[in-house]
Chain A
Amino acid sequence: MQPMYYFKQALDDIRGAKVLHGLAISTITLIFLLTGVFALVFINVSQLMTAQQDNVRMMVYLKSGLTAPELGPIQQAIEKTNRVKSAEFVSKDQALERLRQSMNNQAGLLDDLSDNPLPDAFEVVASPGEGGWQGVKMTAATIQKISGVDEVNFGQAWLEKFSMVAELSRAAAIAIGFLLMVAALSITANTIRLVLYNRRDEIKIMELVGATNGFIRASFYIQGMIQGLLGGLAALGLLALVFFIIVAGAPAQELLGRFEFQFIPIKYCILGLLLSVGVGAAGCHLSFAQFTKD
């Protein structure tokens, strides 16, 4: 084994066909950039979901006509319920005041009310933990059974839809990522194949002087891996640039308030780079299979 020889040969080949390799690296960059964008979207959607799930807020509306001494046992029963972190009483007057504040300029509409239509309630914070949405549902159902509770609302319809969208986006990201990898593989394979045909006389000479298959192939595999690595690195660099300048900047933060956008975790960045190197090597393998067949 002569790693330095193979490496030098691979670099010489890349230098000898700069345009061809440059085009291939640019295309791989584009493909990995697209894959990176999907990964970024998926990671942040998942993050948003997790943030939502960490502290689920439920409104537990009470039946009308309950007296103050009856509220204590209800609060205790709610607080004892599995996954409940806290339960804070919100009287109907407090609820009306909150509504008034949230209506801003239109708060005057409430002045015409002769009676406060809002019920007393408990604002409950639950932590679903491992159980996920099923756990939240079970907690809500348990609270619903407590005597004096009229209705439990935790925006389940919206959250379930959100959860479904997140699942779909995950499946789409995997499928699109797979297709993009196939495209990257095909591009690397075609580039190496062109180099192989360009050097077929040289390969023949190498065979005649006693080169083994491994000797002939090694530098081509390195070329493929260098292509993949450079494409992967360029894509990662561009993605980081776009992310830190635009996405994580002020406009996006204004849009989602306290939510902090996350870049792709370092272990996945490394995994992506390894994947790009693997795609380069696999592309080379495919082109050799075709070349040998021809």
Chain B
Amino acid sequence: MDNQYPELENKNAIIRMFHVTKRYGAQLALNDVSLDVDANEFLFLTGPSGAGKSTLLKLLYLADTISEGQILLKGMNLSRLPKKRLPFLRRNIGVVFQDYKLIPTRTVFDNIALVMEVAGANAKQIKRKVGYLLRTVEMEHKAGAFPQSLSGGEQQRVAVARAICGDPDIVLADEPTGSLDAESARVIMELLFGIHARGATVMVATHDEALLHSTRRRIVTLKQGSVVDLGL
């Protein structure tokens, strides 16, 4: 007998969106979006400004709630997730923001360490892991610096280090190279490819055409809140 709901069958998917709609008042930010992202997939999300890329990512990193539809993250239905469980699910998601969102009153080291502190790691574990990440993003010499003394590229490298500090299964990057020069952008993308190579699912929102075509990855295109190309 044929499965009545073939769309429900995808055992590899780590992110599943079913007919997701998001409204801000009368404004429709996302309209009936359905999308599956497989575990360990590297995917670009593109579209013009206002297409809904950032809104979609916001829903996935639980900064906002959907108006209609369902989202499954690692098999968990976000609409039914108890509020208490939210922080623990968020620890599985690393986020790289376009505006970095580093805490200005904390040093580079402390900004990265925050993720582990939140998860209850001890000082020794934190020192070892953050030290390793600082070397990976080539920011070891700036460990004691505050974010405002760093360039945009340096801040974004710190943001990437923070995003992967907790060894998340999913990394979401919202225009991670948007305000960077070509060299800084290349470094950031290499870091994201590296994270993917180590097993994480990576979703990058960008409208940078050069970046999209520099690599053969799946590209999902949004336009006016709707998916116009799933890139399959």
Contacts and interface: CB of A to CB of B under 8 A. Distances in A.
Interface in B162-204: 162, 166
Band of interface residues on A: 10 to 19
Interface stretch (A160-168, A202-210, A226-234): A202-210
22 contacts: A12-B105, A16-B105, A201-B103, A202-B103, A206-B114, A206-B118, A207-B87, A208-B61, A208-B90, A208-B95, A209-B90, A209-B95, A209-B114, A209-B162, A210-B87, A210-B88, A210-B90, A210-B91, A210-B115, A210-B166, A211-B87, A212-B118
B25 interface: no
A291 interface: no
B155 to A, nearest CB: 13
Contacts of A12: 105
A5 interface: yes
Interface string A175-216: 000000000000000000000000001100111111111010
Contacts of B162: 209
Interface residues of B, number: 20
B117 interface: yes
Given A12-B105, A201-B101, A215-B118, 20 more contacts: A1-B120, A2-B120, A205-B114, A207-B87, A207-B90, A208-B63, A208-B95, A208-B101, A209-B90, A209-B95, A209-B114, A209-B115, A209-B166, A210-B88, A210-B91, A210-B119, A210-B166, A212-B118, A213-B87, A215-B87
A212 B87 contact: yes
A21 to B, nearest CB: 15
A207 B90 CA distance: 8
The A contact surface, by secondary structure, is helix
B87 A205 contact: no
B61 to A, nearest CB: 6
Contacts of A212: 87, 118
A210 B95 contact: no
Interface in B79-94: 87-91
Contacts of A211: 87, 118
A266 B182 CA distance: 69
Contacts of B119: 210
Nearest to A203: B103
A215 to B, nearest CB: 6
Interface string B115-131: 10111100000000000
B82 to A, nearest CB: 13
Contacts of B105: 12, 16, 202
Contacts of A201: 101, 103
Interface string B10-28: 0000000000000000000
A216 to B, nearest CB: 9
Contact of A205 (B91, B103, B120, B166): B103
A202 B111 CA distance: 10
A213 B101 CA distance: 20
A16 B104 CA distance: 12
Contact of A5 (B88, B89, B103, B117): B117
Interface string B46-89: 00000000000000011100000000000000000000000111
A201 B102 CA distance: 10
A213 B90 CA distance: 13
Nearest to A1: B120
Given A5-B117, A210-B119, A205 B101 contact: yes
A215 B87 CA distance: 10
B118 A209 contact: yes
A208 B101 CA distance: 10
Contacts of A202: 103, 105
Contacts of B118: 206, 209-212, 215
A179 to B, nearest CB: 37
Contacts of A206: 114, 118
Contacts of A210: 87-91, 115, 118-119, 166
